Amino acid sequence: MFLGPSSQPLRDLNILVTERCFKLLEAFFLHKLGYFWIDRTAIPHDALLHAVNCFVLYRLEDRLVTISVVNDAGLFRAVVCSPCTADMIAMMPGGICSFYPKLTMDNVAILSPGGFLVEPEYAVGSVWSERFTIHDNSEFLGADCGLSCPSLWRGILDGNLLRVVEWDHRFSIREPLQRSHTIWRLSETCSNPLCSFRAIPGRYRPLLPPLTMPADLNAIDNQCFLLKRHSFTSLVTVTALLYATIATAPHKVPVGLQEGKQKLRGLDDFEINFWVNTLARDKFAVPANCYHRTFSAIPDAPALKLPNLYTIVCEDPEGYPPPNALLKERLVQSSLNDTLKGNVLVLKHVNHNHRQLADVTDGDISIINLLLDGGALRKCHWAHFK
């Protein structure tokens, strides 16, 4: 669709839908269009297993339709988890978007981590298509990857790297794109010898996430030292407050932009995984907003407004983080003791502006403690995993 007419007849249609809309769309295909089920119990291919909850196959003559069910936060995440960059295209009633337009227009594609799981006998996406030349890294460029380096985190809001074509502004595709908090990368390292971001994690670049998360003062100091020693530098750095699992007190730590980012557009641009592990279930495509929540008031006392906005970032429970002894000791609400696991990071916003961050000071610590003890932790991601 993005490249125009093909010499091969189009017979497959892949539709992503949220769970609450699945039955309505299924009824449309079965009762209005006359399709019938091929397999209602099909299991997603390993390449898409972490991005798709389930999918159903339908058929009408020689036409096939696949309806894949994703969660609300995973619509574009399922797209960027495609086997290769040529498949990272989303179309809605009012427009179409390609996340790798230049490569796609050149009929070239790079495998994603899931693409390496596609065997030749299984035609998943464009991996074995004759229309594209598939590469497993960016070495074929013969030049510096620049900001398109496969190892750099990309966000949906990186508008200069994607291409959007709209034909009906009533159903604009830009609005759901702007609401998405999905970030992704194609690889942990870049093998292109000419790339300025080519590095070996742990040697020229800090490990993400660290092998063990900083848990006490010594580990925090060591992590700060590693960040200064490595070539990783950030144009924007703020001071956040870290509640490490076995520390005796919260500590102020530096948080910078992800490598390659030139300016701050939102919280998703910060590299928080030096302090809290949000990559436990997927190192390559992350719905970043699932791990943080911003507060303007004390949840248990909504009338008690905070002087600034504060964002709480927590770890992914899939990483099996240890209990947070620091918070368990400091918080009065014992009902949360069993679920207080992993490090907790708190960032500060000024002027009640989500995009305007400032350093956490000693004067903020008592306010943050009140916020955490006032019901904020119960509304965070991992508090729902017991």
| 139-152 tens-digit pLDDT | 999 899 888 899 99
Helices in 271-361 by DSSP H: which ranges? 325-330
Q: Please write the tens of the pLDDT for every residue from 15-74.
A: 888 888 888 988 998 999 999 888 766 677 677 777 787 778 888 888 888 888 887 667
Query: Residue 82: how many CB atoms within 10 A of its CB?
Result: 26
* 161 vs 326: which has the higher pLDDT: 326
For position 252, what pLDDT does the model report?
96
d(CA 375, CA 342): 17
**Average pLDDT of the residues in 336-350:** 85
Q: Please write the tens of the pLDDT for every residue from 77-131.
A: 888 888 889 989 988 889 999 999 999 999 999 999 888 877 766 667 777 777 8
Let me know: does 182 contact 286? Beta carbons within 8 Å. Answer: yes
d(CA 330, CA 8): 65
d(CA 52, CA 334): 37
Sheet holding 54-60, edge to edge: 12-18, 63-70, 54-60, 36-39
Burial class (CB in 10 A: 0-12, 13-18, 19+), 301: exposed
- Give every CB contact of residue 308 below 8 A, 6+ residues apart in sequence: 348, 349, 350, 352, 358, 364
Q: What is the pTM of this model?
A: 0.85
